[in-house]
Structure 1
Amino acid sequence: MTEFNRRQALGALGAATAVGLAAPACAAGRKITVGALRFTSHAGSFIAFERGYFAEAGLEVELKFFQAAQPMAVAIASGDVDYAITAISGGLVSLADKGAIKVIGGALSEEPGIDGQKILASDAAFQAGLTAPAALDGKSFGMSTAGSSFHYMGSKVAAAEGVSLSFKPLQKVGAIIGALKSGQIDAWSIVPHIAKPLAASGAVHIIGDIADYLPDYQVTTVFTSATNAADERDMTGDYLSAYARGVADYNATMIAQESGQAGVDAMVDLIHKYVYTDRPRETAAASIINGTMRLNGGAALNVASVRDQLKWFQSEGLVDEGITLETLLDTSYVETLGS
């Protein structure tokens, strides 16, 4: 994979350069629906909504929440959702091949030096010797569906370690967590704000980091319908500009901590409206902070990582071999890195 120092590159780009934050809104009064998961990594959307960045861009936004990537991709294709943040999946690639969707930016990437996704083992498997990824041979690995980001990550780890995994499709993140805690599956990988609390419970153990295997992995992307990408350029640009402002606030507050502890506390309060809403703020705060990962400044997109993912989907027979990056991506809206 092409070397990609995002800390340096994205800092130089800045949100304004990448998507024209200073440009006047041209989509005033447009109502759009934005898809999201209740993950800390989706904080850019929550911040843009709560701090009025979408409204300032002339967009009236409704947030719609999902429990997995594939239903969100289907919702974009059907027109039920206009823009969304999610991992690239085989289903998403297939929808792009049908002319239904386009990836238009990057949302979250693994970055050396920044806490990232963890590789987990159930307590039963850990006690039986699964204490490192090298011991995964013959073990079961949880995923939502075939062709999901979990499937991709597990396969990449297995290939690097020269081991064989048995993948278990469980549809939803909650079901995967339950299966891991009960020992019905042996291993899984997930973002830190979910991984660390699970490990703290004693039912699950952290045995590795995805960044060691996929150091510049473009974990999630920004995508929309092919129609919006091609025919609603002003609206799409306004959406990306507002989203990028939310991302800039998040990185400045949670990564650089430019506003100190008071800023972190205020950001946690905002995110808690959407993440771990079933917990009191005092117990949710640690998990939200544990989930701190740098988001892609300006929604910049790591094309090299997307290329690697597409090749993997094709090698597994999950998508057609003739699909190209141009089929999947519209790179005209943001800076591209690692291409």
Structure 2
Amino acid sequence: MTHLNRRRALALMGGTVAAAGLAAPAYAQNKTIKVGALRFTSHSASFIALERGYFAEAGLNVEFEFFQAATPMAVAIASGDVDYAVTAVSGGLINLAEKGAIKVIGGALSEEDGIDGQKYLASDAAFQAGVTSCAALDGKRYAVTQAGSSFHYMGSKMAQAEGIDLSFVPLQKVGAIIGAMKSGQVDGWSIVPHIAKPLAGSGALHIIGNVADYLPDYQVTTVFTSAKNAADERGQTESFLNGFSKGADDYAAAMIDGTADQDAMVDLIHKYVYTDRERAKAAPSIINGTMRINKGAALNLASIQDQLDWFQSEGLVDAGISIDQLVDTSYVEMIGA
């Protein structure tokens, strides 16, 4: 089984720089593991599982390592510096899976009918010049973190549906994209609602479409680990997924279904998200970020296949990579399989 340091993992990525159905937890005897995360509301299942003791109940002592983008997380998983993480499928992640370094083992954030999801945005300069719909982005500059990122996928799929051309501009980090959008250096972008809505509410940017209109049931993020953990640490991996799934259930109860205390949930999430803001100012953005985190970490395999097909069609990953190289289907329920 491949084990990589971070330098080797980056090299293998080439030019692209990425519960229902669960068994009872296999107790891991208080083993310390590292979990990669972004300080986004969409990563709340892991935060809840730690704060409410679900990881501890499963025999895991969890330490978080925080990142600013998906690709470094994929590298950290491949190198063994981090054990589990949640992130979008990217060209880099697929390339590492082809090399036998990582496996997708479950699903996390999803677009779901009836739940307000990710948005397509226009800069104020573009909007004032007539870019009031996604179709009007024809020929415009569209921001992505990197070529082969989920932003690239969302923009390209929208452009294909509208029959338009976009000029993709890689800006590496979300903060850099926000700055470029505000200054009018780029014209369009897509992002999760807890970032999109406040920006639109301030008038700095404008919402011009919904990602779900172009990508219904899009599996936005996945749970993944090293191929070694997936193959050789089954008990530990099941324990992690079990704790994660309990966190997702609590999140849905409070933030979507209205069957649990939302204020208490916002207090918990605020320990990790928008920590530089006082609670009163952070709460609206945390609430705006509410999207479905799949029950039981179920994975929409049909959506993952569509993403893999797109990366291959764009020449961003090898045409011979199979879904079996990317996904270990033995851990959770597969939707659309």
With structure 2 as the length reference, what TM-score do the two structures score? 0.94
> Could you tell me how far apart the structure 2 residues matched to 1:251 and 1:149 are?
24
Quote how far apart the aligned CAs of 1:112 are.
1.1
Partner of 1:10: none
Give runs of aligned pairs for residues 137-176 of structure 1, distance below 5 A: 137-176=138-177
> Could you tell me how far apart the structure 1 residues matched to 2:33 and 2:174 are?
26
CA contact (8 A) 2:25 2:235 kept: no
Is 1:116 aligned to 2:114, yes or no?
A: no
Quote how far apart the aligned CAs of 1:320 are.
0.3
Q: Which structure 1 segments of 5+ residues have no match? A: 1-14
Q: For 1:273-304, what per-residue CA distance to the aligned partner results, in whole angstroms no more than 9, with x for missing partners?
A: 11111111000000000011111000000000
Partner of 2:130: 129
Partner of 2:22: 19
Q: CA RMSD in A?
A: 0.7
Partner of 2:267: 269
> Could you tell me how far apart the structure 1 residues matched to 2:268 and 2:278 are?
13
> Could you tell me how far apart the structure 1 residues matched to 2:148 and 2:258 are?
36
Q: Which amino acid aligns with 2:215?
A: L
Quote how far apart the aligned CAs of 1:247 are.
0.2
Q: Give secondary structure in 2 for the equivalent of 1:84.
A: strand
Partner of 2:292: 294
Aligned residues: 319
Partner of 1:238: 239
> Could you tell me how far apart the structure 2 residues matched to 1:184 and 1:78 are?
36
Q: Give secondary structure in 1 for the equivalent of 2:220.
A: strand
Is 1:189 aligned to 2:190, yes or no?
A: yes
Give runs of aligned pairs for residues 210-225 of structure 1, distance below 5 A: 210-225=211-226
Is 1:313 aligned to 2:314, yes or no?
A: no
> Could you tell me how far apart the structure 2 residues matched to 1:63 and 1:80 are?
11
Partner of 1:43: 44
Q: Which amino acid aligns with 1:208?
A: G
Q: For 1:22-64, what per-residue CA distance to the aligned partner results, in whole angstroms no more than 9, with x for missing partners?
A: x253311211000011110100000001101111100011011
Q: Which structure 2 segments of 5+ residues have no match? A: 1-18
> Could you tell me how far apart the structure 2 residues matched to 1:139 and 1:155 are?
12
Q: 1:334 aligns with which of 327, 332, 335?
A: 332
Give runs of aligned pairs for residues 61-72 of structure 1, distance below 5 A: 61-72=62-73
> Could you tell me how far apart the structure 2 residues matched to 1:26 and 1:248 are?
20
Q: 1:278 aligns with which of 242, 266, 276?
A: 276
Q: Which amino acid aligns with 2:286?
A: I
Partner of 2:13: none
Q: Give secondary structure in 1 for the equivalent of 2:35.
A: strand
> Could you tell me how far apart the structure 2 residues matched to 1:326 and 1:275 are?
34
Partner of 1:200: 201
Q: Give secondary structure in 2 for the equivalent of 1:164.
A: coil
Quote how far apart the aligned CAs of 1:191 are.
0.4
Over the matched positions of the two proteins, sequence identity in percent amounts to 73
> Could you tell me how far apart the structure 1 residues matched to 2:123 and 2:77 are?
35
With structure 1 as the length reference, what TM-score do the two structures score? 0.93
Q: Give secondary structure in 1 for the equivalent of 2:178.
A: helix
